[in-house]
A = this chain, B = another copy of it.
Amino acid sequence: MYEMAIQLRTDSGCCLYEQIYEYIKKEIRDGKLLAGEKLPSTRSLAEYLQVARSTVDYAYGQLLGEGYIESRPCRGYFVCPIEGLFRLSANENSQAKAAPKPRGFGAAYVESGITDKRYQVDFSPYDIDMSGFPFGVWKKITKNILTYANSDLFSRGEVQGDYELRQTIGRYLHSSRGVNCRPEQIIVGAGNDYLLLLLEKILGRHVRIAMENPTYKRSYRIFQSFAYRIVTVDMDESGMRADKLWQANASAAYVMPSHQFPTGTVMPIGRRMELLKWADGEPGRYLIEDDYDSEFRYHGKPIPALQASDKHGRVIYMGTFSKAIAPAIRISFMVLPEVLLEKYYRDCAFYSCTVSRIDQSILNEFIRDGYFERHLNKMRKLYGAKHALLLECLQPFKAAFTISGENAGLHLTLTAKKEIYEKELVKQAYEYGIRVYGMSEYMREVSSDSMTVLLGFGGLSDEEIKKGMELLRKAWM
């Protein structure tokens, strides 16, 4: 077991958990703690350091959140192998101290939109452009709502969300995504994570769920926390392989047909039909369609949602406004097939709505009065331009990399043609102060032979994109 030679300064302003956190982070960065190495249990470390166990818990929690360490059930904490960039010389450690105090934990940190100061340019696939957010309109609507707010607006309201908002969402989904549903099928909730918690109550806990590999890590972790049996199904250029899905013996499949994360694959209609065929193959089979960023498509005509082709009520459709408007708008929605409504009424109808009626009213007006559409078009244009710029900057890379996901979304993927592993690419980029994201982060088992990285552009300015790509060129070519 690895011995920790940490000296805690009780005098200094830096509090205890932060010292432990910084120390272990440094140890990992400096390669003194190697990938796969086991950390002392929080209990034993607390005893060893003579501090409260919670102090160590908190430090470990932050390390977990930032992906330095991982916890393996019943086995303890281990140093993460995934991030090549964390095993560099400590020369950037001084900067590290300047890094913002980590906030939150888990994926939430990575996705919190707080860019890591250690990087000049961070090609985060999670960041979005807030400069486009119509603060003015939002404030105006909010002000109006509050001005005419009566106590009714401050009451609890309907558990599924206000009927009016559900009507508005229904209309929007129909016109923009071809989704067919009645407002009665729509459940409004504060974020997809929450809606998935409800879905667990509806589908029950003995679900064997199929996920694409790679997939969206957050949903993966959430299904894990349900103790769902997760089977990963390989993808081809059309997305989840239907033949493998049939073999997977699953009762549900989580897919992102409009724009798979992280690969960016758009599922062609043929494959969609195969998936629907699978769902129809046995009663109780469902497809969970996460339509997280379908709004942003730049080439070719928009492809309707999978739910639109669903004739037998096999698709559970999920969407969010956090991506299209702002992460702070904690409003997502789930469209249940009619067959699941009874279960919802019976098992979830007493869970009160997690979105305040005020926020619901604001969003309702924002969509109803056409601001949302205008905002979407604006953002599509804005992201489209960045997307085009990034593709242009990627020209010189085409010899050495295969570029994909070029039709939609807020990120692209690069796959090295000759043998350069992801870890190398991430590390080389890091040495030039650029953060790119290794595909293997999104795989079930971290594969050491991935040669693909993600480049997100949503949160970057044109200048940052240009600068970042220039430095990547130096780093990689």
Contacts and interface: CB of A to CB of B under 8 A. Distances in A.
Nearest to A330: B356
B61 A342 contact: yes
A246 interface: no
A71 B344 CA distance: 12
Interface string A139-165: 100110011010101111111100100
Contact of A191 (B130, B348, B354): B354
A436 B156 CA distance: 21
Contacts of A182: 54
A350 interface: yes
A347 B57 contact: no
Interface in A105-148: 105-108, 111-114, 130-131, 133, 135, 138-139, 142-143, 146-147
Interface stretch (A320-328, A370-378, A421-429): A320-328
Nearest to A107: B350
A156 B328 contact: yes
Contact of A104 (B52, B103, B157, B190): B157
B222 A345 contact: no
Interface stretch (A78-86, A193-201, A302-310, A437-445): A193-201
A225 interface: yes
A63 to B, nearest CB: 10
A338 B57 CA distance: 9
B338 A104 contact: no
Nearest to A201: B225
A139 B146 CA distance: 6
A272 interface: no
B153 A328 contact: yes
A430 B205 CA distance: 43
Nearest to A331: B356
Given A65-B345, A349-B105, A113 B155 contact: yes
A341 B194 CA distance: 20
Given A341-B58, A354-B190, A356-B328, A138 B130 contact: no
A287 interface: no
A439 to B, nearest CB: 19
A320 B113 CA distance: 28
A277 interface: no
A429 to B, nearest CB: 24
B156 A349 contact: no
A446 to B, nearest CB: 17
A64 interface: yes
A154 B322 CA distance: 9
A355 interface: yes
Please provide the 4 A-B residue pairs with the shortest distance between their CB atoms, ordered closest to farther. Answer: A130-B151, A105-B349, A61-B345, A106-B350
30 contacts: A54-B184, A61-B345, A61-B349, A64-B345, A103-B157, A103-B158, A104-B157, A104-B349, A104-B353, A105-B349, A105-B350, A106-B349, A112-B156, A113-B155, A135-B146, A135-B149, A139-B146, A139-B147, A142-B143, A142-B146, A143-B143, A155-B327, A156-B322, A190-B190, A193-B351, A222-B351, A328-B358, A330-B353, A330-B356, A354-B354
Interface of A: 42, 52-54, 57-58, 60-61, 64-65, 71, 103-108, 111-114, 130-131, 133, 135, 138-139, 142-143, 146-147, 149, 151, 153-160, 163, 182, 184-185, 189-191, 193-194, 197, 201, 205, 218, 221-222, 225, 227, 322, 326-330, 338-339, 341-342, 345-359
Given A113-B155, A151-B326, 19 more contacts: A57-B338, A60-B342, A71-B346, A104-B156, A104-B157, A104-B160, A104-B349, A108-B158, A108-B349, A108-B352, A108-B353, A130-B154, A133-B151, A135-B149, A154-B327, A194-B351, A205-B227, A225-B350, A329-B356
